[in-house]
Amino acid sequence: MSCAARAAVRSLWRLRAGTLRPLTAYGRRIGVRFYSSGMTLDNVNRAAVDRIIRVDHAGEYGANRIYAGQMAVLGRTSVGPVIQKMWDQEKDHLKKFNELMVAFRVRPTILMPFWNVVGFALGAGTALLGKEGAMACTVAVEESIAHHYNNQIRTLMEKDPEKYEELLQVIRKFRDEELEHHDIGLEHDAQLAPAYTILKNLIQAGCSMAIYLSERF
Structure confidence by residue, pLDDT tens digits, 58-104: 999 999 999 999 999 999 999 999 999 999 999 999 999 999 989 88
Q: CB of 115 within 8 A of CB of 58?
A: yes
Q: What is the pLDDT of residue 42?
A: 54
- 3-class secondary structure, 38: coil
Least confident among 12-21, 35-44, 124-133, 176-185 = 12-21
CA separation for the pair 204, 178 (Å, rounded) = 15
CATH class of 46-215: mainly alpha
Mean pLDDT rounded to a whole number for the chain: 82
- State mean pLDDT over 127-146: 95
What residues pair up with 23 in beta bridges, in sequence order?
29
Q: How far is CA 8 from the centre of its chain?
A: 36
| Buried residues in 179-200 as b, exposed as e (16+ CB within 10 A) | bebbebbeebbbeebeebeebb
Number of H helices, E strands in the chain: 7, 0
List, in order, residues 6 or more apart from 41 with CB less than 8 Å away.
Answer: 104, 105
Tell me what percent of the residues of the chain surpass a pLDDT of 90. 66
3-state helix, strand, coil in the chain (%, to 5): 75, 0, 25
CA separation for the pair 67, 73 (Å, rounded) = 10
Tell me the binding residues. Answer: 60, 90, 93, 142, 178, 181
Tell me the binding residues for Fe cation. Answer: 60, 90, 93, 142, 178, 181
* Residue 33 pLDDT greater than 70, yes or no: no
Tell me what percent of the residues of the chain surpass a pLDDT of 70. 80
Q: CB of 51 within 8 A of CB of 206?
A: no
What residues pair up with 29 in beta bridges, in sequence order?
23
pLDDT band per the 50, 70, 90 thresholds, residue 40: low
Q: CB of 199 within 8 A of CB of 205?
A: no
- Domain spans in the chain, listed from the N-terminal domain onward: 46-215
